[in-house]
A and B are shown apart, each in its own frame.
Chain A
Amino acid sequence: MKQHLQRQSGVANVDVSLIDGKVEVTPREDGPIEPAQLLKATYDSGVSVAELDMTVTGKIVKDTSGNLSLQVRPNQSFVIAPNELSKSLEPLADSATVVTVRGQLYKKPVGKQKKADASTPLKLLILEVKKE
C-alpha cells in the first residue's frame, strides 16, 4: 500500500503504522495532492479506509446556493459540511483571508448504511480552525 500511495502525484512521503492502522501522507510543497485519489489508491491496494482527516490551508468561498467551500487551488476546492465551526468561517467567505483548518473528509459509514459511492462528492467536516 505504501508504494501504491507514494506513486500518487503530489505525495512526498508516506508513513504507515501497522499497530495503529494509521497512514500519514505528507504532500509535496510544489505539487497538488488529490485526497480522492489517495482513497482510491488505498482501496486498490486491498485496504479499507475507515477515516480520512487532513489539514488544509485555503480561502473560504461561497457558491450561488450558499454552500461554503474551502478553495485550495483554482481547480481544487472542498465543500464544507455545515457545523458550528463552519458557521464561524462564514464571515470570511469570498474574502482574501487564508485559513488553516483540520477536517474530516471521509468516514466509513457505520452499521447497515449503504456503502459510500465513489461518485458521491466528499464533504469536509471542520474539526478545528487553526490560529496562524
Chain B
Amino acid sequence: MKRKHLVLLLLVGCAFVPQLEAQIRHVEMRVEGMT
C-alpha cells in the first residue's frame, strides 16, 4: 500500500515539473529597405 502511494505521489509530482518542450522560441530578422 505504501509503495502504491509513493508511485502515485511520483506521478502527480511529474505533472508539475516544467517540461522543456521542443519549439522555436524566438525569431529575429535583420531587414533592409524598410521605411
Is A117 engaged at the interface, CB distance under 8 Å to the other chain? no
Q: How many residues of chain B are within 8 Å of chain A by beta carbon? A: 16
State whether A49 touches B30 (Cβ < 8 A): yes
A71 to B31, CA, bound (A): 27
Do B25 and A56 have beta carbons less than 8 Å apart?
A: yes
Interface size range of chain A in the complex = 35 or more
With contacts A1-B34, A18-B34 taken as known, whether A57 is within 8 angstroms of B29 at the C-beta atoms is no
Contact status A26-B31, CB under 8 Å: no
Residues of chain A lying within 8 A (CB to CB) of residue B29? 22-25, 38-39, 42, 49-53
Chain B residues within an 8 Å CB radius of A27: 23-27
Given the known inter-chain contacts A24-B26, A24-B27, A24-B28, please indicate yes or no for A57 contacting B20, CB distance below 8 A: yes
Distance A39 CA – B27 CA, assembled complex (angstroms): 11
* Chain B residue contacts of A10, Cβ below 8 A: 24
Interface of B is mostly: strand
Interface string of B1-35 (1 = CB under 8 A from A): 00000000000000000001111111111111111
A122 to chain B, nearest CB (A): 12
Task: Give min CB distance, B4 to chain A, whole Å.
Answer: 28
Residues in B with CB closer than 8 Å to A51 are 29-30
Find chain A residues with CB under 8 A from B28 CB: 22-25, 52-54
* Neighbouring A residues of B27 by C-beta, 8 Å: 24-25, 27, 33, 35, 38, 52-54
Report yes or no: A48 in contact with B32, Cβ–Cβ below 8 A. yes
Known: A10-B24, A58-B22. 4 other contacts (CB 8 A): A29-B23, A38-B29, A47-B31, A73-B22
